Amino acid sequence: MHYTLRNKLPSSAIFTTVDAVLNWGRLSSLWYLLFGTACCAIELMQTGGPRADLDRFGAVFRSSPRQSDLLIVAGTVTYKMASRIKRLYEQMADPKYVISMGSCSNCGGLFDLGYSVLRGIDKVIPVDVYVPGCPPRPEALTQGLLVLQEKIRKQRYLTREA
Amino acid sequence: MGLEALKEEIAKALSATVVEPVWAEAAGDLTLHVLPGSLKPVAAVLNGVGFRLLLAVAVVDEGETFRVVYPLCSLERRVKLILMTSVPRQAPDIDSLVDVWPAANWHEREQAELFGVTFVGHPDPRHLLLPDDWEGYPLQKDYKEPEVYRGISTERPYWEDEGCSRSN
């Protein structure tokens, strides 16, 4: 940019809103936590891999919750794990988003009757987008990410109510 | 070596422990029933005659009693043997076999937290899989799920609509 645009454009100004710029920045760099709880994590890896390539939407994995904007809950969550996931969520810096991936994470899914299985991650942390499927295909998770991006695009972060 | 010869050898080895072996056969495997009090000496004898491999520790909830099952394997003899005992539900205490087979350590921890059987003398009787503050023994037949765990509701309304209840 430094070399291609220099001396080619007159002094310019762009009119936009701060919210729009913030939202554009956020939705274009949704770094997700490298984290999976069960078999959905395998599809999560495929989604991050070269064929589905979540990277082209600005989403790359980070292995620390401190650097992550997005928590993708991929797989069955037990009560024991629920407290750990809550801790991870609390360690993420605002603004943060959650995608619930797959039936187990949405509502308990196949293992719903088990004594140790949490019936939906939304009982523990707030969820922005639910992706159905058992497990969802990489296309479905990509769609979930795009839906989340559209949600972020409409946010009014600076003027939101407390 | 045939099974009969093995039985005789085990019976001979057990004669020192004043245990009368009760034999049965389950799915083609030799099965030895003992009283819970004589479990540990019998286990030591079996270990001595070649059953050095403990495959698992299983517990069956039979209502008034818990049956504790130890599938054993002898690699040198190429034979399996199942050691069984029963403890009363009211006082489910049983000797830990970690001294005899170190492999029993985690198996016994798991069975203790899931069935409420106490393995007396276990070197590390913490929970293995369940959280430390878990109440109840989930694999007992009469286990009732709590309504709330750590402030999280355990309800699943759509199953109950379809005739499934909490207890099953």
pLDDT for the residue numbered B20:
65
* Chain B residue with the nearest C-alpha to that of A84: B131
Beta bridge partners of A130: A100
pLDDT for the residue numbered B99:
92
B168: pLDDT confidence band, cut at 50, 70 and 90?
A: very low
DSSP notation for B56-91:
--EEEE-SSEEEEEEEEEETTTTEEEEEEEEEESSS
pTM of the model: 0.80
For residues A157 and A132, which has the higher predicted lDDT (pLDDT)? Answer: A132
Residues of A with Cβ-Cβ distance to B159 under 8 angstroms: 112-113
The mean pLDDT of B3-29, rounded to a whole number, is 72
Q: Where are the domains of chain B?
A: 3-125
User: pLDDT > 70: what percent of chain B?
Assistant: 86
pLDDT for the residue numbered B166:
52
The mean pLDDT of A148-162, rounded to a whole number, is 82
CATH 3.30.460.80 for domain B3-125, yes or no, is yes
Inter-chain CB proximity B156 and A108 less than 8 Å: yes
The interface predicted TM-score (ipTM) is 0.75
| DSSP letter assigned to residue A137 | P
CA distance A77 to chain B (A): 13
Rounded Cα distance, B61 and B138, in Å: 11
The mean pLDDT of B94-100, rounded to a whole number, is 92
Inter-chain CB proximity B150 and A79 less than 8 Å: yes
For residues B89 and B14, which has the higher predicted lDDT (pLDDT)? Answer: B89
Whether the per-residue pLDDT at B124 is higher than 60: the answer is: yes
pLDDT digits (tens, 9 = 90+) for A4-37: 766 777 777 889 988 889 999 999 999 999 999 9
Q: How many CB pairs under 8 A join A and B?
A: 31
Whole-number average pLDDT of chain A: 89
| Nearest-5° Cα angle at B57, B53 to B60 | 145
pLDDT for the residue numbered B15:
72
Inter-chain CB proximity A80 and B149 less than 8 Å: no
CA distance B7 to chain A (A): 42
